[in-house]
Amino acid sequence: MTKDKITLQFIWGIALFLAGIGMFFRIPQLMPQIKANPQFADGIGFIYFCLYLLGILLVCGGIKKLVNTYKKYIEIGSP
């Protein structure tokens, strides 16, 4: 893997991680709007679960991408 690809993968890992963190800040702001809609009132617990699960998966995926990219960077030799 070339250093350009490693850099791109590193940036993608950071983007995934930050998107996951952003989910945790956005969910509390978004939930009052969702609760106001009577169609979603019955499934509000499931909606919470899904949104927080998505945030966790994004953070974990970003961390995994960063760790794997760092290992590949070390394998090819740092400048």
Q: Report the pLDDT value the prediction gives residue 39, as an integer from 0 to 100.
A: 92
Q: What is the pLDDT of residue 14?
A: 97
Q: How far apart are CA 74 and CA 18, in angstroms?
A: 24
Q: Which amino acid is at 76?
A: I
The parent domain of residue 61 ranges over 3-76
Nearest partner of 63 among 27, 18, 26, judged by Cα: 18
Q: Could you give the maximum distance between any two Cα atoms of the chain, in Å?
A: 58
Torsion sign (Cα): 25, 23, 52, 44: positive
- Cβ contacts of 74 within 8 Å, gap of 6 or more: none
Q: Which of 7-11, 25-29, 71-75 has the lowest mean pLDDT?
A: 71-75
pLDDT of residue 4: 87
Q: Whole-model pTM?
A: 0.87
For the chain, the helix, strand and coil percentages under 3-state DSSP, each to the nearest 5 = 90, 0, 10
What total number of domains does the chain contain?
1
User: Each residue of 19-62: pLDDT tens digit?
Assistant: 999 999 999 999 999 999 999 888 999 999 999 999 999 999 99
